[in-house]
Amino acid sequence: MTTVNFWRVVNHIADNTYYSFEYYRKYTADGHVMVAFKEKGNFVLYDPQSNEFYRNDAVSLLLYTVRRKTIKLLNISNCNLNKSVLDYVVEARI
């Protein structure tokens, strides 16, 4: 997904819907996953690992670090999470 196409997709995201935002960084094999949503019409990225929110210009700056055609958006608004799986993942990271 190119940057232009990305913003076209973002324009169609409704407020209070949540997405998994997966991407790979330029020049590395590193990938990352964030939570994406719209708040009062503004697109926001939340990084749960660093507890940081990216808004407005910060989102644009972040997109410069993204390898082309690696962005994946998955609607997670109506997903049920299995607590035992989450606990297992968290325990493995500690």
Residue 80 φ then ψ, to 5°: -100, 130
**How far is it, in rounded angstroms, from Cα 74 to Cα 79?**
11
User: Who has greater pLDDT, 83 or 59?
Assistant: 59
**How far is it, in rounded angstroms, from Cα 36 to Cα 87?**
22
Q: What is the mean pLDDT of the chain?
A: 85
**Percentage of residues of the chain with pLDDT beyond 70:** 90
Predicted confidence at residue 35, as pLDDT, reads: 93
Helix-, strand-, coil-residue percentages of the chain, each rounded to 5: 30, 35, 35
Predicted confidence at residue 46, as pLDDT, reads: 94
Q: How confident is the model at residue 88 (pLDDT cuts 50, 70, 90)?
A: confident
List, for residues 18-62, the tens digit of each pLDDT value. Answer: 999 999 999 888 899 999 999 998 999 999 888 899 998 999 899
> CB–CB of 21/62 below 8 Å?
no
